[in-house]
Amino acid sequence: MPQNQESRSSGILLHITSLPSKFGVGDFGPSAFEFVDLLRQAGQSLWQILPINPPSFGNSPYSCTSAFAISPLFASPEFMIRDGFLEEGDLEPALECSPNRVQYSPALDFKISLLSKSFARFSRRVDKNEYEKFCVDNSYWLEDYCLFSVLKNYFDGRSWSEWPEDIKKRNTVEEYVGRLSELVDQEKYFQFVLFRQWVELQRYCQKRGVRIFGDVALYVNHDSADVWAHPEFFKLDQEMRPVVVAGVPPDYFSETGQKWGNPVFDWNALRENDYLWWLKRMKHNLGLFDLVRIDHFRGLLAAWEIPASDPTAVNGRWQECPGVDFISRLFKEFESIPVVAEDLGVITQDVKDAMIQFGFPGMKLLIFAFDGDILENPYAPGNHVKNCILYTGTHDCNTIRGWFDEEMSEESKVKLENIIGKKVDSATVAEEMITLAMRSIADMVILPMQDVLGLGSGARMNCPGTAENNWEWRLRQWSTGDVEKLAELTKTYGRD
């Protein structure tokens, strides 16, 4: 494990959007601090979240307009009032929202309206030292992102590759900055408030002994500030559109593979630039989080490049990437790199070798543990290793109860019962799987909140390949009894 990891720990996977709040979506406000207190009462020392960047379309936290910025969804109105950025009357008319499901569009519109009111008040302040320092410290991404966000609205939401030629190719940036300066300043202010609130939550977690486990999507969206500002680091044509896009080849799960559509990195250009963009990205995320999961870690060693015009991933090809050279450069830059490699699916030997070389732990999922030969299955309890992160399931899986009720074969149920030595049913399977995880040799265990509560498939966070009803689940309550039960289990297996 990375040097700053403690052995035998555990935590909860719950995205911030899922927290309770009065404003349609979980945010950096009081409920986040209350959740940290509950984590400690339950004996947990890790809180894993999903990416907190601004979504570009749909609700997916893995599809964003920036690899650096924070989504306005997470702004806490309560703390903006507390800090003098808003007044109580600014919350009227109140947002009507469901406590059960996140309502992204109305929640985002409401938060932006509040931030805009706050900016109008803030712009009249004389003392802006903290804000100005933030702008200077973050200028390497903030200037481009804020202008990009303003231009997206200015050009009616069109992709930057469809903007007028002069600004598409960044020949008239200063002209547009001058013309839209107040709106750009407003966007900077939004980020100032968001990062200010995040740092407060981050410090509270540190004070309470909770490490924040963040998530970094390997690829970025084409329609993002990152690609617009640095097209030289991506494989684009003369019209600034992707020549090839990322995905994965056909496999057991899909005859046509998966075409994600993200532009592929031009690693030769990145290497010639000493990986500067990636160094800044990693420094940024290592400042935000105590531990960072790199999604699709395999893509650092080889990318499945698909012709952008192809409808499926069938005609893609593997293109080697200088992952080992890049990670070696990271180790020269940072004293410690607390990275977790997302290594699910078919993983080649070069990826395994790189993980061993750099000491990066991978992931094991108990939900995959009962398929095929139990002696050969790497996810089966008997085949776990210490240097890994063990999950019952992830945000992309069904809940354990939903899996048991709807997906698990009778043969797999027998294997599970043989391992734990007792019969299980829908009402007990989540608790038994959590106990199995806690008993594991794995150094770290992460439990989705839905499994801790024993919820069914209606509480599933995401169903890959579907566009509706994802990322919307919200936590209603974590009862004292459930908190105490998890605390006792955590203590029993030495993870407190």
Q: What is the pLDDT of residues 282-307, one digit of tens each?
A: 999 999 999 999 999 999 999 999 99
- 156: pLDDT confidence band, cut at 50, 70 and 90? very high
Q: What angle do CA 15, 207, 483 make, to 5 degrees?
A: 55
- 7: pLDDT confidence band, cut at 50, 70 and 90? confident
Report residue 283 as tokens.
Answer: 């420094």
Residue 78 has pLDDT above 90, yes or no: yes
Evaluate if pTM is beyond 0.75. yes
Q: What angle do CA 390, 416, 392 make, to 5 degrees?
A: 25
What's the mean pLDDT in 31-48? 98
- Catalytic, 166? Answer no
CA distances from 28 to 213, 372, 441 (A): 15, 43, 34
- 125: pLDDT confidence band, cut at 50, 70 and 90? confident
- Catalytic, 295? Answer yes
What's the mean pLDDT in 84-108? 92
Query: What is the structure's pLDDT at 1?
Result: 40
Catalytic one of 90, 185, 295, 333: 295
Catalytic one of 290, 342, 431, 432: 342
- Catalytic, 396? Answer yes
- Could you tell me if 162 and 156 are in contact, meaning their C-beta atoms sit under 8 angstroms apart? no
Per residue in 320-358, pLDDT (tens digit) is 999 999 999 999 999 889 999 999 988 999 999 999 999
DSSP H or E segment with residue 112:
helix 104-122
What's the mean pLDDT in 97-118? 94
What's the mean pLDDT in 122-138? 91
Catalytic one of 333, 371, 396, 405: 396
